[in-house]
Amino acid sequence: MNRREHVFDPGSGERSVTEALTPPNGSPVVVAIDIGGSWIKGALVGADARPTAGERVATPDASEAELVEAVAALTLGLADLAQRRGTPAVAVGISTAGVIDETSGTARRSANLRWRNTALARHLEERTGRRVTLLQDARAAAQAEAVLGAGRDADNFLMVILGTGVGGAVVSGGRPLLGSHGLAGEIGHLQLDPEGPLCGCGGRGCLEMVASGTALSRRYNDATGRLLPAEAVLELVIEGDPVATGLWSDAVSALAVALAAAVAVLDIELVIFGGGMAAAGQLLLDPLANELAARVVLAPPPRLTVAALGNDAGLLGAAAAALRSVGHDGLVRSWQS
């Protein structure tokens, strides 16, 4: 359970530590944490926007207390390392899946994590003595893509995370939009079919019930009796399997309907896809572009692309938010150049 691994600079030894001891111009460093259903990842991030000293631990799923303790141990360990390197961390940024109240720093609930109205930011502030910023994971990824990734040249875009579920975030004027309940951009729970299957959110016929990796896998199993992961179903699409192709076509059409609605409301110029299923690449983007062109007529249809930052997006978004929380906005803007 408490397996701990170095993931960013494995086996780097003294040399990388020596390099990291001398950041450019003594610029600030933050602790960045990314909490997912399987792993909690952590790293130190400074002026060069490169995660260093990366570690990950398996995400505890037994209790809220264990989950909080695992996050706290990783955070304190990295803060301690930064201290020993002579560049104390100035703040902490945390990205997590779930329904998050970013204003109070509370992790309300999650389908895959043991959040129970957990006052995570306050708890970690007491233990680290640092400002702690908590972000919902799609918004963290969107923030990172806006500054460093595929959204660098777009003021207004939608980030769609196609993974186990379908998450989303809106970037408006270069910043992730929060909304009144922290749910702006949650396109996965847009209802497409009032008679459709019951969703984990309590609604029926949500986009997520057709277009997520879980849905693709479940629907293929319903149709054939074979339980395969979504990636394997996508392989079958490439091979021309008629059932898999039909289900993928359903997923793409559902996405097109939802995205056309988003375009009408938000007038966005770009949609960035992240999450495991974004690896489908052109298999996703080409048919979706065709369907969108037929549905979006008032303005040019948005450009479609896949996320540029991959697995580091959550950490970098958390780092950007942490730096901004203590006034280093200019440093984050400098990442853009």
Residue of the chain from 7, 119, 201, 228 that contacts Zn ion (CB under 5 A): 201
189 sits near Zn ion (criterion: CB under 5 A): yes
Residue of the chain from 203, 229, 276, 287 that contacts Zn ion (CB under 5 A): 203
DSSP reduced 3-state for 137: helix
Stretch that binds Zn ion, among 199-207, 231-239, 296-304, 315-323 (CB under 5 A): 199-207
- How far, in Å, are 31, 35, 83, 90, 331 from residue 131 at the CA level? 11, 18, 16, 8, 17
Task: Find the shortest distance in angstroms from Cβ 242 to Zn ion.
Answer: 28
Q: Taking every pair of C-alpha atoms in the chain, what is the biggest distance, in angstroms?
A: 61
CA within 13 Å, CB half, 146: 27
Buried b (16+ CB within 10 A) or exposed e, 285-319: bebbbebbeebbeeeebbbbbbbbbeebbbbbbbb
219 sits near Zn ion (criterion: CB under 5 A): no
Q: Which is nearer to Zn ion, 125 or 193 (CB)?
A: 193
Near Zn ion in 92-111, by CB under 5 A:
none
- Dihedral-angle region of residue 187 (phi above 0 means left; psi in -120 to 50 means alpha; beta otherwise): alpha
Q: Which is nearer to Zn ion, 199 or 280 (CB)?
A: 199
Task: Find the shortest distance in angstroms from Cβ 26 to Zn ion.
Answer: 47
N-to-C CA span, the chain: 40
199 sits near Zn ion (criterion: CB under 5 A): yes
Cβ neighbours around 89 below 10 Å, total? 24
Q: Which is nearer to Zn ion, 189 or 328 (CB)?
A: 189
Near Zn ion in 145-174, by CB under 5 A:
none
Stretch that binds Zn ion, among 34-42, 185-193, 251-259, 276-284 (CB under 5 A): 185-193
Which residues are at the interface with Zn ion (CB under 5 A)?
189, 199, 201, 203, 206
